[in-house]
Structures are given as structure tokens and as C-alpha cells.
Amino acid sequence: MEFLVITGMSGAGKTQASNILEDMGYYCIDNMPSAMIPYFAELYSKMPGKTADVAFVIDVRGESDFLPLLAELDILKDSGYNCRTVFIDCEDRVLINRYKETRRVHPLVTLKNISVNEALALERKMLRPVRERADYIIDTSALTPSQLRDKLIAIQNSSRTGSLVITCMSFGYKYGIATEADLVFDVRCFPNPFYVPELKNLTGLDEAVRNYVFSSKQTIEFMNRLYDMIDFLVPLYAEEGKTQLTIAIGCTGGKHRSVAISEALKSHLFAEGLNVISVHRDIIKKFIGDK
């Protein structure tokens, strides 16, 4: 039995994560006071037939100070319970756009009578201690619902196997570097399918693009060296206690080379029995003028 705490920025996707976890079999509880969590865990674990994992969803509506939450989670862990924290984050500009699109109001705007920008800054300050202690951080700025689901499934699997959660992420440098990455590899030096007319409007998920990318001897040599490096590093990260590793592969537009190479890396790591998913941050951006 596992107790998972879901917290993070308002509008980042905690409710969506809760719905996904519920579909995965978790018993989800919204905004339980932190002081009650250890008592609930003790009671729930002793109830006959209660074997489902539990997810507590906690946000600024239920906590004015998150330090007591950390203390209660320490009590839970010290009592021998399997307890982990997932922090759902998102870039401020994306959060602001989401509020505009949904016509919803940030909870601190109403509670504190401040602007949305001030509310986001205050919320980040309030949540900083929890974010620093989180076992997993999920940035939903460019995630689709299915990609969020994949990440949560990987986290669930890591609990059962004790394995590192590895994300192979493709991105386009023209849209900014992948800030959440632990390792970044620039593959703009390899032949670009964008300049091949019949490949321009395809992506690295298409076989024709993959064949083009890996027809280069330099790409093949890079992949072999990349595999060796990652195979060397992953056990070291796991031994050090790291719970998640994001490997970012960047090309110009994030649609061709980086996608094909990150998928190849994912396949290699999966074949090694590792807990790995792929995220293609910029693959759905407009093709017009992209390279």
C-alpha cells in the first residue's frame, strides 16, 4: 500500500492527475488537513479489505503553511508507511493562459485580493519547501493528458520496482531549452529532414524520417556513444538516490531529429528493463517555417 501526496501550483493539473490516479485504482482524497493524514493512514491500513493505494491532493485552499505538511509526512514515513510526494508544476505564462481560457480565478486572487501574477508568486513562495522535498516533479507546461498519464504510471511502477523514472524528452531550441532536463544533448549537427521536401511535414515518429536520420554514420556513432554514457550514468544516479531523470534531446524545431533520437534512446533503455517514457515537447507546434 502506498500513500501519494499530490500538490503543486493551482491550475497546473492536480485535478487531472487525481482523475488519472483514480482510474489507476487509487483512492483519492481532496484537501484533507495535513494533521489528519497520519491518523487516516493508520486507520485505513487496519481496515479489512482496504488495499488500494491512496492519493492525497493538497493545495493552497487547504494549507496556509506547508511546513506542517512536511512534518506530518515525516511522521508517516517514520511509522513505516510508503509515502511519496509528487509536485505538479507549470510555467507562469501557461498558467495565466489556462486561467484566461477557462475563465477561472486563482484561489489566492480572491483570498488575498491580489493580481494573478502576485498570486502565482505568492503561491510559489508558499510551496517552495514542498517542491524542494518532492520525490517527483512533473512540469505540465507542454504535456498532453496522455503524457501526464504516462508519467504517473511510471511513478506508480517505480514504487513497485524501486526503479528510477526516466523521461526521454525531445525539444526544439527555437522554443527554448528544456529547463527541467538533467542531461541535454544537442543533435542539430546531424542531417536535417526538414530540408527534404517529402519529409518536411512528417515527424521523427514516422519511419521515413527515422530512416533518414539514422542513415548518417555520424548519427549511428553518436547513438552508440550516447547509449554507453547513459548506461554508465543511470546506475550511478539510482545509487545516489535520484528518483527521476530527464534526458533532453534538442534539434532546431523539435519535430524530426530530436524525436527520432529520443525514441531510439527510449527503446534502448526499455530493452534494458528500465522504467522509461518519452515526451515530445514541441512536436505539435506549427510546421510553417519550422526547421
Which positions make up the binding site for ATP? 8-15
Binding site for GTP: residue ranges?
59-62
Nearest partner of 6 among 65, 57, 41, 40, judged by Cα: 57
Write a three-state SS string for the chain: CEEEEEEECCCCCHHHHHHHHHHCCCEEEECCCHHHHHHHHHHHHHCCCCCCCEEEECCCCCCCCCHHHHHHHHHHHHCCCEEEEEEEECCHHHHHHHHHHHCCCCHHHHHHCCCHHHHHHHHHHHHHHHHHHCCEEEECCCCCHHHHHHHHHHHHHHHHHCCCEEEEEEEEHHHCCCCCCCEEEECCCCCCHHHCCCCCCCCCCCHHHHHHHCCCHHHHHHHHHHHHHHHHHHHHHHHHCCCEEEEEEEECCCCCHHHHHHHHHHHHHHHCCCEEEEEECCCCCCCCCCC
Q: Are strands 27-30 and 183-186 parallel, antiparallel or unpaired?
A: unpaired
What is the rounded radius of gyration, in angstroms, for the C-alpha atoms of the chain?
21
CA distance 79 to 187: 48
Binding site: residue ranges?
8-15, 59-62
